Structure 1
């Protein structure tokens, strides 16, 4: 038997435990841990927005504050989505485990393990990317101090992320720096942990689609041998293929539909953040740190946008692959009884199965291009008004 949590979700479990979002064993201490981390993230967003209270509200200030604040709003949305949907995530993992418990064929187990390994590789890759982004955030703040040390100047590091704490920022400089980098670390970790959890889950859904194809091919091969017993075995395999295919669609729909509201707000916040950072880049003068910060934020947003849509599009591709398998096998050489069952599968294949993100658009690479194009269009309009 395959134990998904210990074998395939172990890295995701550790990441979610660190930020208090693992859906099991939610003790009062874990809830306190979660509140402290989420509170750190939310207070940093608030202290960015309070800049508008004490500073003159110019377009440059608006773009500078929103370019970073909305990144952290994206982090908070992802964090909160897993917090409020803990029961949904727990139920999804249970259903997935129940499906895997029914798998006994060694070839089918090998398919599950193959996609489990692939999910781990993706998770490790995104963890490394998150570490690189965290390193860049730290580097752009410590680099000016390296220059200060070389020139023996006492000037302070420029503030790339505008904040207003209503205290003496010179006196409490180290506490403010600690708060800022803690919020960045929590936000990046939340984005990586929640994103990789969804990717790992959907990788197992892909495995289920692949197993459905395998069962269809096995059913046809068995039925071609002739005999009543082989015909019965073939019918049974077709039924099992239909069952796991239906479960794959059910599990993917169940998980993504419950995160629909979170995806909607995440898309909206991401587009605002994308536009503001494009404006920051377009107005670049000689501040390399600000340029690197904006490019890093754009990288984070685009990687997340690309991976979420690419992974969701693969659900449609794998679903179509099941029906392509039905078309390609020699179904015309099997008994009439099985041909009738296959006919129902072929009719089902005429209906496309798409994943809707945020309840507004079909997840696909075309949607990535559309969102990017829309963001650039908004940026062009805002930049032209700014020039005027």
Structure 2
């Protein structure tokens, strides 16, 4: 018997417990933990947006604030999606556990454990990547002070402005350490929430991939049994095909059940992610001499694109495993089976003409092809951003004089 919580979801359980998002054992203390952590993240977003009140809203300043604020809005959306959908997560895990309880064949258990180990490896690698990103944010924040200490030989100097623009309506020099603590705690909560929720979905979908693989195994087993011309073996083969169809339908049902209930969250996440990526692309192409701002924008873009790739890659695996089921049906020697079994196989082959895709947010078909199309759209936006900067900010891009004059000439017409 496979116990998902202790065997395959144990790392995900620990990480989700840290941020209070594990769907089971929701006590009042856990609810208080949720309010504190989510409140810390949301107040950090609010204090970034309040900087519009006290500062001059130039184009550069707007992009600077929105590039970081919308990134943390993405993190808050992920956190909130697991908070409000705790019942959906419990129901999904229960349904998956019920499917695993029905598995008794050793080979099928081995298949499920293989995909569980794969999901654990992905979770560990993403946690290490998250730790590296957290250290990057800390290094970006403290690097100016390290330079000041080295240059001034331990002489005191007032803190330099942060790369993430905020407005707390208090004396920044007096409460510098409290502001820094709030910012870094919010960053840690957001990154941990992004990794914990993302790896939880990946682990869940990896188990549905295992169910598709088990369906292939049962079909091959059924055809192997049917080769023996025996009425008893034919009955066993018939039952194996029914079991294969059942687990295949359950895999599709579980995938759709989870993704469809997160539809609103995914829609908001896609919208906020696109705004965040465009703002950070603008900051990259308008780079002058601030290395910290460049590293911060590149780090955010890397995290967004890694998340985009992994989500679409996992969805592509679901589609590929579904197609592999029908490829297995086509490649087995079904023509050597009885007429009764051949009729069942014929219905399976007809069902294989319809492809299965996960729809994120009700608008986005998740696949590697869709991820590539987003990449090319972003490349076009990148071109237009460069064109915009060359027209309105020629000095920033350090364009040679003859190119400046041509760009200004194009503006007159």
> Do they fold alike, i.e. is TM over 0.5?
yes
Between stretches 342-351 and 155-164, larger displacement belongs to 155-164
The aligned runs of 1:206-221 (5 Å cut-off) are: 206-221=209-224
Q: 2:172 aligns with which of 150, 169, 174?
A: 169
User: Aligned-pair distance for 1:358?
Assistant: 1.1
User: Aligned-pair distance for 1:372?
Assistant: 2.4
Give distance in 1, aligned partners of 2:146 and 2:64: 25
Q: Is this contact kept in 1: 2:159–2:173, CA < 8 A?
A: no
User: Aligned-pair distance for 1:157?
Assistant: 3.2
User: Aligned-pair distance for 1:369?
Assistant: 1.8
Secondary structure of 1:362's counterpart equals strand
Equivalent residue number for residue 234 of structure 1: 237
Equivalent residue number for residue 49 of structure 2: 49
CA offset digits 1:33-90 (Å, max 9, x no partner)? 0010000000000000001000011000000000100000000000000011100000
Count of equivalent residues = 388
Q: Is this contact kept in 1: 2:309–2:368, CA < 8 A?
A: yes
Secondary structure of 1:250's counterpart equals helix
Q: RMSD between aligned alpha carbons?
A: 1.1
Equivalent residue number for residue 77 of structure 2: 77
User: Aligned-pair distance for 1:314?
Assistant: 1.1
Equivalent residue number for residue 347 of structure 1: 350
Give distance in 2, aligned partners of 1:361 and 1:149: 50
Equivalent residue number for residue 119 of structure 2: 119
- Identify which of structures 1 and 2 has the higher relative contact order when contacts are C-alpha pairs closer than 8 Å and 6+ apart: 1
Q: Is this contact kept in 2: 1:275–1:376, CA < 8 A?
A: no
State yes or no: 1:182 paired with 2:185.
yes
In structure 2, the gaps of 5 or more residues are 393-413
Equivalent residue number for residue 279 of structure 2: 276
Equivalent residue number for residue 325 of structure 2: 322
User: Aligned-pair distance for 1:288?
Assistant: 0.8
The aligned runs of 1:252-331 (5 Å cut-off) are: 252-331=255-334
Q: Is this contact kept in 1: 2:158–2:173, CA < 8 A?
A: no
TM-score, normalised with respect to structure 2:
0.92
Give distance in 2, aligned partners of 1:337 and 1:344: 11
User: Aligned-pair distance for 1:385?
Assistant: 4.1
- Over 2 Å off, 4+ runs: 155-158, 372-388
Q: Is this contact kept in 2: 1:209–1:319, CA < 8 A?
A: yes
Equivalent residue number for residue 411 of structure 2: none
TM-score, normalised with respect to structure 1:
0.98
